[in-house]
Every structure is written in C-alpha cells, then in structure tokens.
Amino acid sequence: MSATALTRPDSRPLDKAGCAEAPVLRERGQREVFCGLTGIIWLHRKIQDAFFLVVGSRTCAHLMQSAAGVMIFAEPRFATAIIDERDLAGLADANEELDRVVGQLLARRPDIKLLFLVGSCPSEVIKLDLSRAAQRLDRTHGGVRVLNYSGSGIETTFTQGEDACLAALVPEMPASRATTPELLVVGALAEVVEDQLRRLFDALGIGPVGFLPPRRAHLLPAVGPNTRMLLAQPFLADTARALENRGARHLPAPFPLGAEGTTGWLRAAAEAWDVPPATFRAVTAIGEQRARTAIARHRERLAGRRIFFFPDSQLEIPLARFLSRELDMRPVEIGTPYLHRAHLAAELPLLPEDALLSEGQDVDRQLDRCRAARPDLVVCGLGLANPLEAEGIPTKWSIELVFTPIQGYDQAGDLAELFARPLLRRAALAV
C-alpha cells in the first residue's frame, strides 16, 4: 500500500510524507522505565505449561508480585530464585543453589513442560551464566525443556522482555517443509484476540496460520523459507531477526490497532495470498464498521485534545497514529525507546507532519518539554504518572496498554476508551 493511496477515516487526504522523512530527536540520558521482567506477567498467561523462574533479588520478587497483583493464595507460573548475601559474598555456589531450587520446583510442579531461567540485573552483575545453567538443567531434567533469556533492565525497556523470550524460542521451532506459503503471527496476544484473528484469516482463505508464542510448549509453529511473518507487536526486533535468519519473510504492515490499523494489517496478509479485493472487503467490512462505530463514541471527548508520549513500551508510534487519524487527537511529542524504521515503515507516513518524534530519553529534558507544552493527556510509565498528576496533567499508564487486549476490530472501542477514561476522571474530580 503506497502512502499516496491512503486517506484519513473521514476521507480527508493524507499528507504524503507524514513523519516518514521527519527528523528524529535522539536523546541519551537518564531513563524512567520498567525492566524486562515485567513481560513475564502476560507471557506466563499465554504459554500455559511454561514456568518463568527469575534469578534475581528480593526487589525482583517484589516487582513481580506488585506488577501481577497476585493474591496470596494464587499459584502463578512464575517465581524468583533469590540471590542472597551468601551468593553475593561467594560463600555459596550459585549454580548448586540454582540446581537445588529447580529440582524442588519441578518435583512440585510436574505440569511444567517448558522452564525459562530469566536473568536479572543481580544475576548479570555477579556474572551467573544462565545459558550454561539452562543447558545443564535441560540434560538433568528429561521431559522439561529449559531455556534462558535476560529480563535485566540495565540496557532494556520492559517490552523487550517479550522480545528476548520469543527470540529464545526461535531455535526450538521445527523446520518447515512446506512448499506453499504459511503465515506466522508473531507477538503475544490475548487468546480472545488470537481466536478472532484466526477466524478472519480462515474466512479470507489464508493459512495455515501459526502463532508465536503458542498456548502450549509443544505447539511451536514451524518456520522456513515459505513462512510469511506478520508482527503483532512493534517491539520484536530480535525475534524478527532470528526468524528471518531461518528463512521467514516479514510482511510490512501497520499494527492492528484501531479499525484502520487492523484492516491494513490484514490486507498485508491478503495481498501476499492474492486474496481478491472484493473478498477482502466482504470479510472485513462488518468488523471494520463495528470498530469505527465503537471508536466514534469517544471521539467527542478526545477530538482536538493534545497528547504527549514518553518513551516506554515501543507502542507509542502505532498508538499515536490511531489516536490522530481515528480520534482526531493531536500528538505533541511521540517518544519511543527505539525507532525501528523497517518495522514502522507503514506507520510513519500516517503520523501528523507537525508531531515531534523522539528516540531514547533524557527524562529531565523531556519533562521540561512536557511541562512547557501542557498537553491534555500524557502517556507514560508509573514512575512519572503521579508527579504529573500532582501538577494537574492527566496521565495514562503505558503498561496498561500492554496488559490489556487492544488489537483487532472488536477491541478498537476499548482502546479508545482507555484514553478517554483519564479525561473523564479529571472532569468528574473537577465538579
């Protein structure tokens, strides 16, 4: 789909350039982000027979419990093997301690088929080699696959935990022997969203379709030269690279947020499968119209409002596109931790030309720009939300946009409502 062929939902012509050639403000300074361990919160719900064992400190354990909101009697599929003073002082063999903890875990939870050892800042600081530990434990515990990845926040933002996890799964995927195209949807999606998308692909005659991550460890999809890959999330750079190294081909597309984004995302697959345009419209028209109707309920509240994105989840650019084109909001600054131009090639031309794009973060400078702009709404991490609220600036937590099902036609109205709620709350408090 060329930029010149695109129109706004209200039929106004789209600026041909958008932000595709816009200069980007690149900042390298102090950051305010969660670490990649947070990705476990949605991943452990997705892969139903996997377990995530964080090798970290008590701080890591408190973070996981707080982020998940796990009740004391619940038994989630994640835990923390705590590195204590004896490990740090070298008084105990950290590998022996880890082997003991894993043995106890697997004896207690025979349902586990896939175990992730998840590195943290503390495990990296003491140079604990979890890759070698995973290989050793994989040999020791037959029937349970043991893998590792890093969720350390030293150099990453919180959604990169999912990227690292899925990249660790790619070598485990079987080699495809297919002689015709296969579709692989990459990125953790809520099961209800996955089912909706699968029905649409079936109606379009697109398939076979695999999803990464799968719901069960043994259901890993195959990958090979005939694999066509659709990214469901914009933060999967390492996973996409690993899949391309195994022969998969990326289908450039906007991300499936809102009516327009979902249609563009589905169209990328439809064009790769040579689906007739009439068939495509017949299959997608009802869902797209339903999404537009749901979104329209919130347009009066959001239209003309100015929004400012702090870099956090890497969802910022697709979200800004959705809000500006389908709800007529005005992005002041769109900050993102990393700007992957190849994966965002279909998104950047759809952004308003006057929006400032920033990559990376110098939090003090960005706060100064935000305060000077006085936007109507700010999307940011939890660490910045309370101070900004205290200054009278409504906020939306970026982590909520990752925890909540927001992809696809049937979730488009819910996505719009997530941005309307802070303004509704502010209006109610002002009465």
pLDDT digits (tens, 9 = 90+) for 360-377: 989 999 999 999 999 999
Chain centroid to Cα 28, Å, comes to 22
Report the alpha-carbon distance of residue 140 to residue 143 in Å, rounded.
10
- Pair 425, 351 in one domain: yes
Report the alpha-carbon distance of residue 85 to residue 88 in Å, rounded.
5
Domain of 349: which CATH number?
3.40.50.1980
Report the alpha-carbon distance of residue 412 to residue 255 in Å, rounded.
12
More confident of the two residues 63 and 352: 352
Report the alpha-carbon distance of residue 361 to residue 121 in Å, rounded.
20
Residue range 321-357, pLDDT digits in tens: 999 999 999 999 999 999 999 999 999 999 999 999 9
More confident of the two residues 141 and 427: 141
Q: Identify the domain containing residue 331 by its residue range.
A: 3-32+294-430
161 is a domain residue: no
177 is a domain residue: no
Report the alpha-carbon distance of residue 203 to residue 205 in Å, rounded.
5
Q: Which of 237, 268, 290 is the last residue of a domain?
A: 290
- Pair 256, 339 in one domain: no
Q: Which of 244, 266, 290 is the last residue of a domain?
A: 290
- Pair 227, 325 in one domain: no
Residue range 231-266, pLDDT digits in tens: 999 999 999 999 999 999 999 999 999 999 999 999
pLDDT of residue 5 exceeding 50, the answer is no
- Pair 302, 357 in one domain: yes
169 is a domain residue: no
Token pair listed for 371:
């305060």
Report the alpha-carbon distance of residue 270 to residue 254 in Å, rounded.
14
- Pair 299, 272 in one domain: no
Report the alpha-carbon distance of residue 227 to residue 184 in Å, rounded.
7
- Pair 300, 422 in one domain: yes
224 is a domain residue: yes
- Pair 72, 104 in one domain: yes
Binding site per annotation, positions for [4Fe-4S] cluster: 35, 60, 121
- Pair 102, 216 in one domain: no
- Pair 239, 323 in one domain: no
What pTM was computed for the model? 0.91
Q: Which of 259, 290, 321 is the last residue of a domain?
A: 290
Token pair listed for 117:
């050892």
Total number of domains in the chain: 3
Token pair listed for 226:
């005939």
Residue range 180-227, pLDDT digits in tens: 999 999 999 999 999 999 999 999 999 999 999 999 999 999 999 999
Binding site per annotation, positions: 35, 60, 121
Residue range 31-51, pLDDT digits in tens: 777 788 989 989 998 999 999
